[in-house]
Structure 1
């Protein structure tokens, strides 16, 4: 339960991006799908990994949060992005965790 509580602020940012950005700019759907969402997923997962270490559940929740947007804003061809954003968040989370371990190792010396 504590891990889920730690994930909440990060998932809130993801929700705001997934559901807020398409409302702000409805004309730039491909820009949002190809550049902004991956950037947000990566950066938020990186910070999560830095603060709380790696957690696969976080990336699964990112994927689950994107699913309703397919039916709200896009069409079924956007289903591909579920896995893409999950993979991007896994990479960001792993990288953040790696940086965290390197920083912790250097401060122990």
Structure 2
């Protein structure tokens, strides 16, 4: 449970920050994060984990927004 609530969102946040620094804001990145999490629901989790798709998309959005000010022009 700690993996899904702490470790994976932390990894998502860190990679999103680096993505924001390198590429700036990109809506497609946030959408792809949500889409790529979807197959794990059927493999590892049950149907109650659907809400995490939105959660990971929000974490990715926050990470990209944190990385934006550090972007080189």
CA distance in 2, matches of 1:54, 1:98: 10
Residues matched between the structures, number: 73
CA distance in 2, matches of 1:47, 1:35: 19
| Matching residue of 1:31 | 2
Higher relative contact order (CA 8 A, sep 6+): 2
CA distance in 2, matches of 1:67, 1:43: 20
RMSD: 1.1
- Higher radius of gyration, 1 or 2: 1
SS in 2 for 1:74: coil
CA distance in 2, matches of 1:81, 1:98: 27
CA distance in 2, matches of 1:37, 1:54: 21
Is 2:56 aligned against 1:92?
no
Aligned-residue offset at 1:82 = 0.1
- TM-score normalised by L of structure 2: 0.93
CA distance in 2, matches of 1:50, 1:68: 28
- TM-score normalised by L of structure 1: 0.64
Instruction: Give the unaligned 5+ runs of structure 2.
Output: none
- Superposed, 1:39-78 pairs within 5 Å as 39-78=10-49
Instruction: Give the unaligned 5+ runs of structure 1.
Output: 1-29, 105-109
